[in-house]
Structure 1
Amino acid sequence: MKSLSLKSLSKTYFDLYAGSQHTALHDISLDVPAGEFVSIVGPSGCGKSTILNMVAGFIPQSGGEILVGGEPVKGPGADRGVVFQSFALFPWKTVLENVGFGPKMRGIPKAERDEIAREYLDLVGLAHAADRYPNELSGGMQQRVGVVRALANKPDILLMDEPFASVDAQTRMTLQEELTRIWEERRPTVIFITHDVPEAVFLANRVVVLSKGHILEQVEIPLARPRIWDQLVEDDSFKELSNKVLALVRAA
């Protein structure tokens, strides 16, 4: 796994209608050691997804540096896997083919990439669904496939943009527990974007709160792992940390 460093990062857009510039991010500096799980929260429009898209290499920064393992990001790369809010699966490919897509693009032979895909499907209890198509799966199952499709390419950094926002509450909790279990086993460096404060606290080692394009505060989350909702929902430390982060978001 690799570390991630943002150094004095900024992003400015030009508004054609208003004829003026809009600064989405300014002077963002953040160091994420290899293997850390960081959640980023903040009100709508604060720049959360802009950070993720720049780290992914989808859009260029206006200033500053993005370093992955000490090397500057110059565009998309296999060292960074992205999981979106929409499932973004290929509907014409089977579940096995979807998960094996990244290894296929790296030139891994079919037998080997099928083995890799089955390993990751087994990780989320979907080995039985390998030959199905996405439209034959529930929303929660599709999002499981989306997560392991990114992981099967063995990225150093996993970038997740509100990946559980479109599923029901019970499925969301199950997916959160599964993600923490996968992270404990594989330890990718994770940047997780969310509007949901309890979700951010439940998942992360550290929660970064954004406000109007800059970092307002960072909150360490020293909760023990493994994390299970039934054990944490009434935990005083979890409640205190969630309330602290929520107060910061409201202030932002």
Structure 2
Amino acid sequence: MKSLVLENLSKTYFDPYRGTQFTAIKDVSLQVGEGDFVAVVGPSGCGKSTILNMIAGFVPISGGRILVDGHQVKGPGPDRGVVFQSHALFPWKTVAENVTFGPKMRGVGKAERARIAEEYLALAGLSHAAERYPNELSGGMQQRVGVVRALANNPDVLLMDEPFASVDAQTRMTLQEELTRIWEERRPTVVFITHDVSEAVFLANRVVVLSKGHVLAEVAVPLARPRSWTRLVEDDGFKALSNQVLQLVRSA
């Protein structure tokens, strides 16, 4: 896994109805070190998903630079894996085939793909579901497949855009614990977009608060790992950090 650097990043859009430019992102600079886990929070419309889509290469930047391992991002690439709110699995492919789709597109042989599927499905506790199809899985299981599918392509940076927003609260907590366990084992470089302050503090090493397209604050999260909701739900340090980030978001 490699580092990610945003240098004076900006994004403007042209409003054809008003005939004016609208600035969505303004002069955002951020460094995400190798193996770090950074969550980005902020009110709706502050630019969280726009930044993630620019990092992914889906949206062209208007100014500044994005660097992955020192190389400038010019468009989408296998060095960045993306997990969306919707799992976006191929319904006609089995779980194992979904997980190994990226390696197959890169020319990885059948035997190695089978090994990759076995390794990553075991990592997510999904070995028993290898030959099932997405519509045979619960929403939580589908999202776990989406996470390990992105990891199986061995990206330098894992980008996650509110991946647990569409599941119920209990499943979401379980998925959050699963993600922290997977991160602790593999240490991918992660940028995680969320509206949920508690989720951001639970998952991340650092929380970045956005306001109107710029970075308002960064909050370090020195909570011990491994993390579980059973331990943290009544933890004073967790409560204080969550409240600090919440106040920043509200001020934004």
* Deviation, structure 1 residue 20: 1.2
Structure 1 stretches lacking a partner, 5+ long? none
Partner residue of 1:41?
41
Partner residue of 1:89?
89
Partner residue of 1:173?
173
* Deviation, structure 1 residue 247: 0.2
* Deviation, structure 1 residue 113: 0.6
Partner residue of 1:107?
107
1:234 is paired with a residue whose SS is: coil
Question: What residue identity is the alignment partner of 2:62?
Answer: S
5 Å matches for 1:67-78? Answer: 67-78=67-78
1:16 aligns with 2:35: no
CA distance in 1, matches of 2:142, 2:15: 36
Structure 2 stretches lacking a partner, 5+ long? none
* Deviation, structure 1 residue 55: 0.4
* Deviation, structure 1 residue 164: 0.1
Partner residue of 2:250?
250
1:248 is paired with a residue whose SS is: helix
CA distance in 2, matches of 1:159, 1:65: 17
Provide the aligned length of Structure 1 versus Structure 2: 252
* Deviation, structure 1 residue 114: 1.6
Deviation digits for residues 51-101 of structure 1 (CA, Å, limit 9, x no counterpart): 100000111100000000011001111110000000100000000000000
CA distance in 1, matches of 2:62, 2:156: 24
Question: What residue identity is the alignment partner of 2:80?
Answer: R
Partner residue of 1:149?
149
Report % sequence identity.
79
TM-score (normalised: structure 2): 0.99
CA distance in 2, matches of 1:222, 1:112: 38
CA distance in 2, matches of 1:52, 1:215: 14
CA distance in 2, matches of 1:118, 1:137: 18
Question: What residue identity is the alignment partner of 1:110?
Answer: K
Partner residue of 2:61?
61
Partner residue of 1:140?
140
CA distance in 1, matches of 2:148, 2:8: 32
CA distance in 2, matches of 1:186, 1:126: 17
Root-mean-square deviation (CA, aligned residues, Å) is 0.5
CA distance in 2, matches of 1:35, 1:126: 24
1:148 is paired with a residue whose SS is: helix
CA distance in 2, matches of 1:219, 1:250: 15
Partner residue of 1:198?
198
Partner residue of 1:126?
126
1:102 is paired with a residue whose SS is: helix
Partner residue of 2:224?
224
